Amino acid sequence: MLKLRDGIVELYRKVATSLPPDIEDAVKAAHAQEADSSTAASTLAVIAENIKRARETFRPLCQDTGVPVFYVKVPVGLSHNELRSTILEATREATQKVPLRPNAVDVITEKNSGDNTGEGFPVIYFEETSGGTLTVDLMLKGAGSENAGQMYKLPLAEINAQRDLEGVRRCVLDAVQKAQGRGCPPYIIGVGIGATKDQVTRLAKEQLMRKLTDVNKAGELAELEQQLLGDINSLGIGPMGLGGKATALGVKIGVNHRHPASYFVDVSVGCWAMRRGRLIW
Amino acid sequence: MLGDETGAAHMVDRRTLTLPLSAEDVSSLRAGDLVFLNGLLITGRDKVHKYLVEQRPPKADFPFDISGTVLYHCGPIMRKTEDGYSVVAAGPTTSIRVEMYEADVIREYGLRGIMGKGGMGEKTLKALQEAGCVYFHAIGGAAAYLADRINKVVTAWKLEEFGSTEAMWFFEVKDFPAIVTMDSLGNSMHKEIEKTSFRRFSELILSKGQGTGQKS
């Protein structure tokens, strides 16, 4: 799996140093909407320049190269364990080569492993696929935005959120209001709804892998995504939380069936530097 | 616009500051001012703050005098070179994580500036007023751009012990852009924006009937 390892090292480099075109386009569109010489416009101009500079010089866009999160679609017969060790080897190599910031810290000893590997680090999700192609999706999830995420258990009297999509809308607005500028807006918001806590957090984060141009297959959710984007951008938090129109670039919602007695909503916050990419093998 | 490279005109109120800052520099700065920093600043994040507050190392322990300088909340990506280190990426980290320590650090070490992202709380805002210090907001995620404003890696403190992300780096910066968002008079842009957005948030969640799902 030597060549696959090299491919994953290159995937790391690409994801850490260049933003997907849909996000870059959205940053540019947001810039065009802000008033000339406002703080928001100046901020977005620097962000756009940073995106360009990072890509041209192959340097990470952000010093926080985050928690690597892998979503791997595996053809029948390929060993998950072997793939896992290939990913770990590639992670160690990429940490040196790209370079990535070493971010894996042992909770007991407080020691940084130095190579971005450790217990449950990187995060790797495997899924079997019927096709013959191995697909490796990688997200580098910055901690500033990760810390801005929230989970809700409905109903929630504080914001009068009941167990329906209107309740979900309230949760998302509450999460963004509480996050303010702390997670590097303009944000990409992922929402997961379902029966169990572990499932909705994963589902919410998976939504961040969707392209901004992607339209939700469920009409009701597509509508809610649009409405939430408008609502969030009327809050005035703006780029970096310093005021302005662009508080979010996109909202993506995913649903699972829920238990009659449970209604969990997880809101995963992605920073403007929403770094994601795909390797097809 | 902040940068020369964007090809756009500078904002008229562009202001250049030389570190260390004086009490007069600080008292003349107002929330909303765009500034460019020049000179020697230091970095420090979670571990540095915890250590400074718990161990209270004397000022003489640091390789340079840190009075009057700016403490930048940053855990950079560094690359080891033949003759030391170079900066690869160096944007700000979220400041609120060190809220419980910052007021003590400002008072104890005579800092004139704190720089990070996301702003800080009431305790720090009060310390800024009492000690004569300001909070600068750097642009989050603009790590390659900001690394290019660091001319020289002068030295590091606690590099072995804390590792390169958490160490205190001494950086010589040139035209490092930032926005004053909390000043020494008690003004905070973060507080203002949170207030305004909360009003809008309240409208957005009050404007609807319970669970009607209709559009606003």
pLDDT tens-digit series, residues B99-130: 999 999 999 999 999 999 999 999 999 999 99
- pLDDT exceeds cutoff 50 at A140: yes
Q: What is the pLDDT of residue B50?
A: 98
Using pLDDT thresholds of 50, 70 and 90, give the confidence band for residue B83.
Answer: confident
Instruction: Give the one of A37, A46, A174 whose C-beta lies nearest to B142's C-beta.
Output: A46
Looking at the complex, report in whole angstroms how far the Cα of residue A188 sits from the nearest Cα belonging to chain B: 14
In B108-167, the residues whose Cβ lies within 8 Å of chain A are: 117-119, 137, 139-148, 163-165
Q: Which residues of B touch A47 (CB under 8 A)?
A: 139, 141-142
Chains A and B form CB pairs within 8 A to the count of 187
- A265 pairs with which residues across the strands? A152, A193
Are B211 and A164 within 8 A, CB to CB? yes
Mean pLDDT, all residues of chain A:
97
What's the pLDDT at B211?
43
Q: Would you call B79 and A99 a contact, using CB atoms and an 8 Å cutoff?
A: yes
Task: Domains for chain B: give ranges and CATH numbers.
Answer: 15-188 (3.20.130.10)
**Interchain proximity B200–A235, CB inside 8 Å:** yes
Residue A239, classed as helix, strand or coil, is helix
Taking contacts as CB-CB distances below 8 angstroms, the residues of chain A near B148 are: 53
Average pLDDT over residues A20-36: 96
Out of B91, B189, B211, the one facing A62 most closely (by C-beta) is: B91
Mean pLDDT of chain B: 91
| B94, A183, A274, A215 alpha-carbon torsion, rounded to 10° | 180
Distances B167 to A29, A37, B81, B104 between C-alpha atoms, Å:
38, 36, 17, 19
Give the residue on B whose Cα is nearest the Cα of A58: B144
**Residue B190 C-alpha, separation from nearest chain A C-alpha, in angstroms:** 7
How many helices (H) and strands (E) chain B has is answered by: 7, 9
Stretch among A127-141, B7-21, B185-199 having the lowest mean pLDDT:
B7-21
pLDDT digit string (tens) for A253-281? 999 999 999 999 999 999 999 999 999 99
Per-domain boundaries in chain A: 144-274
Give the whole-number percent of chain A exceeding pLDDT 90.
99
Does the distance separating the beta carbons of A164 and B139 come in below 8 Å?
A: no
Nearest to B179 among A160, A165, A242 (CB): A242
Q: What is the mean pLDDT of residues B10-16?
A: 63
Rounded CA separation B74/B107 (Å): 20
Q: For position A37, what pLDDT does the model report?
A: 87
Reported ipTM: the value is 0.93
Counting DSSP H helices and E strands in chain A, the numbers are 8, 8
Which residues contact residue A34 at a Cβ distance below 8 angstroms, ignoring those fewer than 6 apart? Answer: A40, A41, A44, A238, A239, A244, A245, A246
Residues composing chain A? 281
Contact assessment for residue B32 and residue B189, using Cβ atoms and an 8 Å cutoff: yes
User: Looking at chain A, which residue has its C-alpha nearest residue B179?
Assistant: A39
Q: What is the DSSP letter of B98?
A: G
What angle (nearest 5°) sits at the alpha carbon of residue A270, between those of residues A266 and A273? 170
Residue B216 has pLDDT above 80, yes or no: no
Distance CA A60, CA A17 (A): 4
Searching chain B, which residue's CA lies closest to the CA of residue A167?
Answer: B211
Residues of A in contact with B76 (CB under 8 A): 63, 101
CA distances from B113 to A169, B68, B72, B136 (A): 39, 7, 8, 7
Predicted local confidence at residue B212, as pLDDT:
42
Q: Which of B14, B45, B81, B139 to mutate to test the interface with A (most CBs of A within 10 A)?
A: B139
Most B CBs within 10 Å, among A61, A63, A140, to test the B interface: A63
Mutate to test the interface with A, among B15, B117, B197 (most CBs of A within 10 A): B197
B181: nearest CA partner in chain A = A242
- Look at A231 and B1 and tell me if their CB atoms are within 8 Å: no
pTM: 0.93
- Of A124, A146, A163, the residue nearest A208 (C-alpha): A146
Q: Shortest CB distance from B141 goes to which of A42, A47, A173?
A: A47
- Is B49 part of the annotated catalytic residue set? yes
Give whole-number Cα distances, B69 to B117, B127, B172, in Å.
18, 16, 11
